[in-house]
Amino acid sequence: MRLKQMAIIIGVLYGIMAILPVFVGDTRFIMNILVMCLIWAVVASCWDLIMGFAGIFSFGQVAFFVMGAYCSGILAIEHGVPPVFAIPLAGVFTGAMGVLVGLPCLRLAGPYVALVTFGVHMALQPVLRGKIGLAMGSGGSVGLLTIPPVNIFGYTFSSANMVPTFYLTLLLSLACVLVIMFVIKSYWGVAFLALKDSPDFAMSLGISAFKYKLMVFALTSFLTGIIGAYYGHFYGVLSFRMLDLDLFSILMVMMLVGGLGHFPGAVFGAFIVVAGSEMMAPLGAYRAVVMGALVVILVLVLPNGVMGLFTGKQDRAEAG
């Protein structure tokens, strides 16, 4: 897909989002869902960048999200850092963690990368609950309860004044998604694709696998950490329960609905799936069962997601 088309799709999606508060601005419940749509869109896009474009099977995106949220929350509560500074700091921290996790992954083949990153996810929960986490201020099994909301020049963006907060989220989310879009369409993105499709040939052209894979780890974990930190300040409470697998599965469904490696698809998928999952709320505990089954069915039936349906012909034409 060309840059122009990507930009148009993203523009239309975010344009619709920007108009929606005019109609539903009074309903807190729906505004909350819209904010969640915008936040998950970034996480899903980051995941799509690392998995669909760079071909690195990272299952640690949720862990980076939680790391960012906790880091910023701890900075704000324990050390009194204003959220506006705590959020970028959390992004830098998760970016560094991403590099740390990425380093051992560079030498490994597919399933091992998935294992290491999934291991980070698995090991994070005992760390946050245990004595190490308590010493850092993670609140142990209670979690963080009193994270201050974002405050810019004395104006507080919290769920009390929903509409301005929504637009702040929209700006942040759009900025992150645009960064991802430009990365995909830049020299970087082409290098990622080359490395994924034919590593040996790409390296013979002088593309450094080491450099680019580490960069994609750093970039995706940085963006995920930032949006995670923002989520913490928006929501006000954090718990290690976020590391349970249902959030993981919902994110996966978002990517699969949109189409893995069909970039704006992840944004589209996030919007649809967050709304759809709210509609499935009456199912209660069965919702997770449905989500799991949905992943299986989507992989089998719709391998390229919704975007794949539209772009399938065109991609083939470009290739041929």
Interface residues toward other proteins, by CB under 8 A: 57, 59, 104, 107-108, 110-112, 114-116, 118-120, 122-123, 126-127, 129-130, 244-246, 248-249, 252, 256, 260, 285-286, 288-289, 291-296, 298-300, 303
Encode burial over 243-267: b for 16+ CB neighbours within 10 A, e otherwise.
beeebbbbbbbbbbbbbbbbbbbbb
CB of 198 to other proteins, least distance (A): 13
Whole-number Å distance between alpha carbons of 54 and 39: 22
Distance between CA atoms of residues 250 and 295, nearest Å: 9
Nearer to other proteins, 16 or 100 (CB): 100
CA distances from 11 to 84, 117, 257 (A): 26, 33, 19
Residue 178 or 306 with smaller CB distance to other proteins: 306
Minimal distance in Å, beta carbon 295 to other proteins?
Answer: 3
Could you tell me if 227 and 68 are in contact, meaning their C-beta atoms sit under 8 angstroms apart? yes
- Least gap, CB of 132 to other proteins (angstroms): 8
Whichever of 69 and 114 has its CB closer to other proteins, that residue is 114
Give the shortest CB-68-to-other proteins separation in angstroms: 20
Measuring CA to CA, which residue among 29, 42, 26, 49 is closest to residue 186? Answer: 49
How many whole angstroms separate alpha carbon 171 and alpha carbon 183? 18
Q: Which is nearer to other proteins, 210 or 286 (CB)?
A: 286
How many C-beta atoms surround the C-beta of residue 172 within 10 A? 18
Identity of the residue, 149 or 292, whose beta carbon is nearer to other proteins in the bound complex: 292
Output the smallest distance, CB 97 to other proteins, in A: 13
